[in-house]
Chain A
Amino acid sequence: MAAIKIEARGVTMAYTDKAGRSLPVLREVTLEVQEGEFVCLLGPSGCGKSTLLNILAGFEAPEEGEMRIDGRSVTGPDPRYLTIFQNYGLFPWRSVLGNVEYGLEIQGVPASRRRATAMEYLRLVGLLPFAHHHPRQLSGGMQQRVALARALAVDPDVIFMDEPFGALDAITRIKMQEELQRIWQQKKKTIVFVTHDIDEAVYLADRVVLFTSNPGRIKTVISIPISRPRDRSSPDFAALRDQIFTAFQMKQEGEPGEPEYYI
C-alpha cells in the first residue's frame, strides 16, 4: 500500500498581464501522486505545466487551492523536494564535482564525506571521468546528468523535472530516458516529470496526466500498466500511445473535432 506523497486540491492560478487583466493559467487542478510513483505531465505548450510544477515545488503560491507534500502544506522550496530545470541550472564557476557537492555543502556535510558522496553519484550517472571538468565543457546530455547527480546527492524524496530532455537530440534523449528509469527503479524516488513528448511519457510514467489549455486543467489521467524495461515497439506501447493521441483528438476518428494538440 503506497502512501499519498503529493496532493494538489483545486489549485487555481492566474497571472496579471500588463493591461491589468487576469489571465487564468490553471483552473481547479486536483492531483494525487503516490509515494515512489513516476507521473508525467503532458500537454500543449502554455497549458500551465511549468506553473503547476513551480507551485508543487514551492517556488510560487497558488491563488486558490491547497498543496500538500507528506501531508504538510507547501510553503516554499525544500531540499527534500528538488527541481531539475530544463536549462540544467549548473553553476558555471564550479567544476562538475563542485556542482554535485553544492547541496551537501549547504547542509554542512564535512568536505571529505561530501566529496565521497558526490563521486558516488557521478559514478551512478557515468560521469566520474569528468569530475574536474567545467560544466560548459560537457554536452547537453552530460550536463543534464550532472544536474541529476547534484539533485540525487542530497537524497531527496521527490524530484520535479521540467522538460529535462527537451533540448537533447533524439538518440541522447532515449539514452537519458533509459538511464533515468534505471536510477528511479534503483533509488525509489517520487518523480513528477513535465514533457511534450508522448513517447517519452509512455516510456517513463506509471501514470500520464493529460492537460488541456486556456485555462490549464486536467483532461484525463492514463495509467501505463506495462512492465519495465519497456519496449517502444511492443503492441501495448503502441496502443497506449494511440490512446493518448485519441485523447488529444489528434487522430481523425468518427466526429472530427478541433485538434487540441499541435506538434
Chain B
Amino acid sequence: MQRLERIFLSMAGLAGALTLWQVLAWAGLYPRYLFPWPGDVLQCVSQQLRQGVLGEHIAVSLFRFSGGYLAAAVVAIPLGLLLGWWRRLWVAVDPLVQVLRPISPIAWLPLVTLWFGIGDLPAIVIIFMAAFYPILLGTVTAVKNVDPVYIKVAKNFGASGRHILWRVIVPAAFPYITMGLHFALGTAWVFLVAGEMMGVRSGLGFLIIDARNSMDTGLVVAGMLVIGLLGLAIDRLFGWLERLACRRWGIVEEEGSRWPR
C-alpha cells in the first residue's frame, strides 16, 4: 500500500469518527453539558495549554509512569533471566505467578494506598505492578525459547556457565525480551489513570477525576484524548527504538543487502 494512501485512509477514518461524534451530539440524547461537542473539547485543550497546566500534568504523569515502568524492567528482567535459566525455580514459582497475575493492579489499589500513603508512590507502584508481569513472563519465555543449538555451540567451544548466560542466553533472548517490554508499555499505560485517581493532586488521571467532580465533561474528554495520543506516541517511539536495536542485532528486515557493495 502506498504511503499516501495509508495517510489518506487513516485521516478519513478520523474524520468519520469526528462526524459521527458531532451527529450524535446534535441528536441530543444527552444535554451538551453531559455529552460535550468536539469543539468544546478542542477549546478545553487549547485553554489548558494556554494556562500551562496541561504541560505540568503531562510531565508529572510521565515521571510517575517512567518511574514505575523502569523499576519493573529493572526487577523483572534479571528475575526472568534467572527463572528462565533455572527450570526448577520456575516450576516452583510458576503457580504463584499464575495466581497473582490475573489480579488487576486496581484490586491492589486499596492496599497500595494504605501501605504507600499519598503522593507519587502509589501511582508508581500501580504502574510497576501493571508492567511487571508482562516483562517477567516475556523474559522467561524468551530464555526458554533460546535455540539449544547456541548453547551446544558455546559448550563445544568450552564456554563457562557464566559466559553462556551473559554472552549467549542474554543476546539470544534480547529481541523477545524487547517484545515483552513493548507489550508491557501498552498494558501499563492503561493503568496510569487508575494510579492517579486517589491520593494525588496532579497528573492526567487527577485531571480527569477533578474535571468530572466539577462536571466539566469537555475537560474529561480532553484528558482522555491526551492520554490516548501520548500512549500512541510512546508506543511509536518504542517501536522505533526496537527496530533500531533489532537492526543492530542482525535481525534485518529483508531489504538488507545480500551482497557486498
Q: Does B163 contact A (CB under 8 A)?
A: yes
Partner of A106, one of B157, B172, B174, B250: B157
Instruction: Establish whether residues A89 and B150, one from each chain, have CB atoms under 8 Å apart when the complex forms.
Output: yes
Q: Are the CB atoms of A77 and B156 closer together than 8 Å?
A: yes
Give the size of the chain A interface in residues (CB under 8 angstroms).
30
Contact with B along A66-88 (1 / 0, CB 8 A): 00000000001111001101010
* B70 on the A face (CB < 8 A): no
Contact A79-B153, Cβ < 8 Å, known A93-B172, A93-B174, A137-B257: no
A92 CB contacts on chain B under 8 angstroms: 172, 249-251
Q: Does A115 contact B (CB under 8 A)?
A: no
| Contact (Cβ within 8 A) B157 A154 | yes
B88 at the interface (CB under 8 A from A): no
Residue B78 at the chain A interface, CB threshold 8 Å: no
Given the complex, which residues of B lie within 8 Å of A87, measured CB to CB? 149
Query: Is the Cβ of A79 less than 8 Å from the Cβ of B249?
Result: no
The answer to the question of B60 belonging to the interface, with a C-beta cut-off of 8 Å to chain A, is no
A89 touches B149 (CB 8 A): yes
Decide if B211 is an interface residue (CB 8 Å cutoff). Answer: no
Cβ-defined contact, B250 with A79, below 8 A: no
Task: Report the minimal beta-carbon distance from B152 to chain A, rounded to whole angstroms.
Answer: 6
- Interface locus among A116-124, A126-134, A191-199, A230-238: A126-134
- The interface residues of chain B lying within 8 Å CB-to-CB of A135 are 250
Q: Does B260 contact A (CB under 8 A)?
A: yes
The answer to whether B158 touches A91, judged by C-beta atoms less than 8 angstroms apart, is no
Q: Does A16 contact B (CB under 8 A)?
A: no
Task: Give CA–CA (A57, B250) in the complex, Å.
Answer: 30
**Contact between chains at A85 and B172 (CB < 8 Å):** no
- Asked if A136 is at the interface of the complex by the 8 Å CB criterion, the answer is yes
CB-CB under 8 A from B91, the residues of chain A are: none
In angstroms, Cα B152 to Cα A79, docked, is 11
Check B252–A91 contact: CB distance below 8 A: no
CA distance A94 to B249 in the complex (A): 7
Q: Mark B137-152, 1 if CB is under 8 A from A, else 0.
A: 0000000000101101
Q: Is the CB of B156 within 8 A of A82?
A: yes
Cα distance A129–B258 in the bound complex, in angstroms = 12
Tell me, yes or no, whether B52 is within 8 Å of chain A by CB.
no
Dominant SS at the A interface?
Answer: loop
Given the known interface contacts A91-B150, A93-B171, A133-B260, the answer about A83 and B158 at a Cβ–Cβ threshold of 8 Å is: no
Interface size on B, residues (CB 8 A): 24
Pairwise interchain contact B158-A107, C-beta atoms closer than 8 A: yes
- The answer to whether B251 touches A136, judged by C-beta atoms less than 8 angstroms apart, is yes
Is A45 part of the binding interface, using a Cβ–Cβ cutoff of 8 Å? no
Compute how far the CA of A102 lies from the CA of B159 in the bound complex, rounded to whole angstroms: 10
Contact indicator A57/B150 (Cβ below 8 Å): no
CB distance from A241 to the nearest CB of B (A): 32
Query: Within the complex, what minimum Cβ distance (angstroms) separates B148 from chain A?
Result: 10
Assembled-state Cα–Cα distance A150/B258 (Å): 20
Most B CB within 10 A of own CB, among A83, A92, A102, A130? A92
Chain A 106-158 interface residues, beta-carbon cutoff 8 Å to B: 106-107, 129-130, 133-139, 154
Q: How far is the CA of A95 from the CA of B150 in the complex (A)?
A: 15
Q: Mark B241-253, 1 if CB is under 8 A from A, else 0.
A: 0000000011110
Does A93 contact B250, Cβ atoms closer than 8 Å? yes
Name the distance in Å between A149's Cβ and chain B's nearest Cβ: 13
Known: A92-B250, A137-B256. A85 touches B163 (CB 8 A): no
From B163, B168, B256, B258, A91 is in contact (CB under 8 Å) with B168
Q: At the interface, yes or no: B155 with Cβ under 8 Å from chain A?
A: yes
Interface 1/0s, chain B 77-99, versus A by CB < 8 A?
Answer: 00000000000000000000000
Task: Across the interface, name the chain A residue whose C-beta is closest to B257.
Answer: A137
- Cα A59 to Cα B153 in complex, Å, equals 10
Note all chain B residues with C-beta closer than 8 A to A107: 157-158
Residues of B within 8 Å of A136, CB to CB, are: 250-252, 256
Q: Report which of A59, A130, A134, A139 forms a contact with B250, defined as CB distance below 8 A.
A: A134
Contact mask B1-32 → A, CB, 8 Å, 1/0? 00000000000000000000000000000000
In the assembled complex, the Cα of A164 lies from the Cα of B100 at a distance in Å of 47
> Contacts A89-B150, A106-B163, A129-B260 hold; do A94 and B250 have CB atoms under 8 A apart?
yes
A-side contacts of B251, CB under 8 Å: 92, 136
A83: chain B residues within 8 A (beta carbon): 152, 156
Would you call B260 and A85 a contact (CB within 8 A)? no
* Extra inter-chain contacts (6) besides given A92-B172, A136-B250, A154-B157, CB under 8 Å: A83-B156, A92-B249, A103-B158, A106-B158, A133-B260, A139-B258
Enumerate chain A interface residues (CB-CB to B < 8 A): 57, 59, 76-79, 82-83, 85, 87, 89, 91-95, 102-103, 106-107, 129-130, 133-139, 154
